[in-house]
Structure 1
């Protein structure tokens, strides 16, 4: 049973410490100052809209943050009469707390000049909070809210959090699959989200260990592309790097064998680029992963072309995909036109319709000429 103080406490904003292990910041702020953490939250989380609401409406009492005492031993001592004598780490609500702190500190150099200003009569010097004894007491709540619930973290934050929680459970179970099952049950995960993101993070770790010679920050920022690429292990990309379908995978070992590291390097560079700025990436749009890269990796000739020349379009043409693209779009256009035939007479005097119709006729003439 989680140790939690009864009721909601009004805590002075100045007594609130932003979490150095905030999953939204990838857990990379453990040695950073509070100003540095606020700067990262401001730059990464786009809090202007939230700050504007707080500046105009004040803090809604119905949305208390969740905190733990800076010193866990103080928990039993804390009550409503001495609440101001202690400091508290914000476990849930770091965006809101940062917004309030930045609004109150008008002399800060973190925000832009158009950052909102507090309206007269709005008091943000205290924030409603629920107090737990330690982080572990809040884990299930955070998991449900940010993994299975409607306040989801970004892909990397979610994967890292899941990976760490599974490993923590695994200290007891000594069985990763069992640990995944336990966490999935705790948060009501019926779609294998925990298992998928655990695997995505393990693949990411191998990319860091076996492929990268530079910072992985740009991959963390585009981590959802790993999800698109690997799905449940049943994609041509997963097959190319030797990753088995997730239902058959052995989670105790490295997921990518050493004889497939070159392929892992290829995929990493095609999708994320060749340096920490993402330069030389062949994927400018995530949709190209499914529509172009996956068909290429199902065709040996296309793979060889892509590896040799780094030419995505040329490799795709070798898959027969371009033929299907052309024929498919012609058929799609035909069906769309057929569906509106009965409505056309109503718009025969409409200038916008007539202009579009002339452009269509021009396109048809161009196709005819190309076919001569």
Structure 2
């Protein structure tokens, strides 16, 4: 954990405090993001409004100083820990303005302020960002203010590059695991998933109708739990952070299945629990081909044991559904129409064609 700065807590004007462009929470944003973009991201994901309400009603709690580095040549300090509190304070004291779509809600909060918002904040000043990195791990990975999985992965990558770049990958994983009080396999899995995400980002998400906000990073990390998916992607394991044999085309497919939505807002994958089916599908050429052709996971899954088994399953499913239909006729209140008769004729003719085809094949 980072040691306290030799200096005591300093009070620094908020207009001299800048957001940290490398903050793992801002993973979807460019390192050159404007303050307005940072504020929008914070208001979207970080519940800054709750902090504004607290500060506006009770004042700023001095027992939570910001952790900063600086000053730079222009007298500015970089806020490494405490960007949410900084955003809330600057919105309250008028040094930042929300976007138009957030303006009404923010003005409502400001109108209810009971305590004058501060124009300076308590800070602990460190020499450089590196001194604070390890503390962030305890606070946001194993601590009370847990980051999402992509933010954790970004943080681990920063920690690795700052402290363990000279070590082999196995030693890196072990060292990082000790730093955050976790397991090395968890660390390696996060870093592998981060590298897959970075490839997709570099490839501009393969021209798919998705962007950074469409990506649920935990889906990528969960997919790596399935050996079939790792092998299919060209990875030796979920700890293959270097990925020398990564198949880019298959990574594009995986992102399309997991994150591209159809006109009804559904993805091919659906929920993460369906990744077990996807793992079986990618292990079968027949099943994968069907998925490519139809975009239907449930249909492709029928082929995971081969076309003959798929046919048997499909016939069994059809029979089960027809049994349900037949049982419905036992309800005396049913009022049948000509439309029902047309549909029944279609089913009858299709069933007859299937029966005749199977009989001909058997008798050949």
Assess if the C-alpha contact under 8 Å between 1:5 and 1:130 holds in 2.
no
**Structure 2 counterpart of 1:369:** 327
**Structure 2 counterpart of 1:362:** none
**Structure 1 counterpart of 2:81:** 92
1:284 aligns with 2:254: no
1:306 aligns with 2:319: no
Give the Cα separation in 1 of the matches to 2:324 and 2:269: 30
Displacement, 1:191? 5.7
Give the Cα separation in 2 of the matches to 1:191 and 1:254: 18
Assess if the C-alpha contact under 8 Å between 2:177 and 2:184 holds in 1.
no
1:237 aligns with 2:229: yes
Shift of the 297–27 alpha-carbon distance from structure 1 to 2, 3 Å rule, reads closer
What's the RMSD between the two structures over aligned residues? 3.8
Assess if the C-alpha contact under 8 Å between 2:11 and 2:120 holds in 1.
yes
Deviations 1:209-236 (A, max 9, x none): 56844487437741111012112xx433
Give the Cα separation in 2 of the matches to 1:195 and 1:265: 22
Q: Which of 177, 183, 193 is 2:186 aligned to?
A: 193
Assess if the C-alpha contact under 8 Å between 1:169 and 1:179 holds in 2.
no
1:66 aligns with 2:67: yes
Q: How does 1:70-85 map to 2 (within 5 A)?
A: 70-71=71-72
Q: Which of 282, 288, 291 is 1:297 aligned to?
A: 282
1:24 aligns with 2:25: yes
Give the Cα separation in 2 of the matches to 1:35 and 1:178: 40
1:172 aligns with 2:166: yes
1:160 aligns with 2:154: yes
**Structure 1 counterpart of 2:348:** none
Q: How does 1:1-372 map to 2 (within 5 A)?
A: 2=3, 4-26=5-27, 28-71=29-72, 86-105=75-94, 108-110=97-99, 111-115=102-106, 116-117=109-110, 119-173=113-167, 175-190=168-183, 192-209=185-202, 212-214=205-207, 217-218=211-212, 221-231=215-225, 234-246=226-238, 249=239, 251=241, 253-257=242-246, 260-273=247-260, 281-290=267-276, 292-319=277-304, 369=327
- Partner of 2:39: helix, strand, or coil? helix
Displacement, 1:147? 2.2
Assess if the C-alpha contact under 8 Å between 2:66 and 2:124 holds in 1.
yes
Deviations 1:25-68 (A, max 9, x none): 11734323333322332234232222212211211222222111
- Partner of 1:17: helix, strand, or coil? strand
- Partner of 1:171: helix, strand, or coil? coil
Shift of the 121–162 alpha-carbon distance from structure 1 to 2, 3 Å rule, reads closer
Deviations 1:285-330 (A, max 9, x none): 333334x42343344432221123222221133448997xx99xxx
Give the Cα separation in 1 of the matches to 2:195 and 2:83: 27
Deviations 1:59-114 (A, max 9, x none): 1222222111132x89xxxxxxxxxxx43211101011101110111883433312
Shift of the 371–136 alpha-carbon distance from structure 1 to 2, 3 Å rule, reads farther
Query: Which stretches in structure 1 are left out of the alignment for 5+ residues?
Result: 75-85, 328-364
Give the Cα separation in 2 of the matches to 1:239 and 1:64: 47
Give the Cα separation in 1 of the matches to 2:96 and 2:7: 36
Assess if the C-alpha contact under 8 Å between 2:174 and 2:183 holds in 1.
no
What TM-score comes out, normalization by structure 2 length?
0.72
